[in-house]
Structure 1
Amino acid sequence: MAKNDSGKTERIEYDLAEIYRGIRTRVTDLIASASQESLERVAPATPEWSALGVLAHMVGSTADVIEGRLDGVASDDWTQQQVDLRSTASVEQLLEEWGRFSPQVEPLIDSFPRRMQGMFIVDATTHEQDLRGALNAPGARDSDAVVYSFDQLSFGIGRQRGDAGALKIIHEAGERVVGEGEATATLRATRFEIIRAAVGRRSTAQIASWDWEGTALPESVVIGMFAPTRSTDLVE
């Protein structure tokens, strides 16, 4: 579990529809203003998807929810099919499709199973930042999407420490203790850096180089489904 700086267990309520709508608005503006050349760049830390491929996956996720294509949800095959089905779609077609399906999905997110809520928002947050990397357009690093993703992913980081003791995270807006037992390590890092590492966007060497005290266990920062993490550094 996670505890705040008073030692109390913390569970924050979020407007998930508003968070996703914010991601869609920012990404739509980003894509609409990008050149065709930049949209064809490979996005870092993706399966060799271009920026348009990343957008196709984000669009496809909303379409699949509404149209009931949920067999193998979140698997590599499921996501790749979304990209492949839209491989010839134009920017305008992708944004039009997203504009049709996303407003139908957004009011439903609160009714998703809790784990699915987290996966859906964290995935969209991750790919917004992947797109920003491909388009050389950093931003939204303190958005409600990043705050929510940190809230979700930090629980997983705590679980992965197992019997090694809890981890105290000191970030730009406060601190949080995750895991079981007394804190045996302290990490000072931004929420943005932590969530990027948790989803496999930082190398083990990068994570190990952060400001740690105590029993660091940098590999525990990478959530299991994204492990092993990348072997080369990614600086954003």
Structure 2
Amino acid sequence: MTAAPDFVAYPEVRRAVRALLEGRPGTYRRPVPACPEWTVTDLLGHLTAIASRVLARHGGTPPAPAGTVPELLDRWDDLGEELDRRLAEAGGRSGEVMVMDAYTHELDLRAALGVPPPVEHLAWAPSFDVLVRGFSASVAGRGLPAVDLRTTGGSRWTAGTGRPKVSVTAPAHDLYRALAGRRSPAQLAALEWSAAPEPWLAAFTWGPFTPPTHPGV
């Protein structure tokens, strides 16, 4: 699957999040289980803060802070419009971690609101590529044999270095959530592994991600 450039994938996330939140004012204080310390409003505040930080790094001037969910949505769109342009000028890959973060939190938001994950999404492929690279570095850094990552739809990636010694297979959404720290050790072990998974479970803790103690969503 060809990954969409950042300036194409990022507005797709913004549109999806706006569609999820507009018309649901009663959900703004709802907890987000995948981010236990956050409400829906906190999650949106995080997304706008990350956008401000990336825009400043690209030479832009972020707008003034906002507070309510409607204000945050408008602010994120304002930031995003300039970010999309600057990311396009930079070649379309300098914001890939930001896109992954935003899409991962879109999935967190969907889970909090009881909305199924999207069947297709322009941010899925570039975000998954970022997660595979991070997990791959974690596998290699722990001196573990490489892992053959497989979706039930037939897609495959190698995480780690050398010839894979084990494979793990899951539906695309579950594999994504596993790599993004949203699946507990028990859930990770319950995926379809070709060998005992225990040596590789520690590798799912990497970068900002730590598997939750209790079952994730």
Work out whether residues 66 and 105 of structure 1, in 8 Å CA contact, stay in contact via their aligned partners in 2. yes
Query: Normalized against structure 2, the TM-score is what?
Result: 0.83
Q: Structure 1's 112 and 199: CA in aligned 2 closer, same or farther, altered over 3 A?
A: farther
Counting only pairs closer than 5 Å after superposition, residues 111-126 of structure 1 correspond to structure 2 as: 111=90, 117-126=95-104
For 1:188, what is the secondary structure of its paired residue? strand
For 1:161, what is the secondary structure of its paired residue? helix
Counting only pairs closer than 5 Å after superposition, residues 1-236 of structure 1 correspond to structure 2 as: 12=2, 14-34=4-24, 36-67=25-56, 86=66, 89-109=67-87, 111=90, 117-140=95-118, 142-162=120-140, 163-171=143-151, 172-214=153-195, 216=197, 217-227=200-210, 229-235=211-217
CA distance in 2 between partners of 1:27 and 1:44 (Å)? 17
Query: Normalized against structure 1, the TM-score is what?
Result: 0.77
For 1:109, what is the secondary structure of its paired residue? helix
Question: CA RMSD, aligned part only?
Answer: 2.6
Measured after TM superposition, the shift of residue 101 of structure 1 is 1.4
Q: Structure 1's 123 and 166: CA in aligned 2 closer, same or farther, altered over 3 A?
A: same
* 2:182 maps to amino acid: R
After TM superposition, what 4+ stretches of structure 1 lie above 3 angstroms from structure 2? 64-70
Q: Could you tell me which runs of 5 or more consecutive residues in structure 1 were left unpaired when the two chains were aligned.
A: 1-10, 71-84
Q: Could you tell me which runs of 5 or more consecutive residues in structure 2 were left unpaired when the two chains were aligned.
A: 60-64
Measured after TM superposition, the shift of residue 55 of structure 1 is 1.0
Deviations 1:34-84 (A, max 9, x none): 2x22221011122521111111111222233335699xxxxxxxxxxxxxx
CA distance in 2 between partners of 1:42 and 1:118 (Å)? 27
CA distance in 2 between partners of 1:93 and 1:234 (Å)? 30
Work out whether residues 202 and 234 of structure 1, in 8 Å CA contact, stay in contact via their aligned partners in 2. yes
Q: Percent identity?
A: 25
The size of the alignment, in residue pairs, is 207
* 2:35 maps to amino acid: T
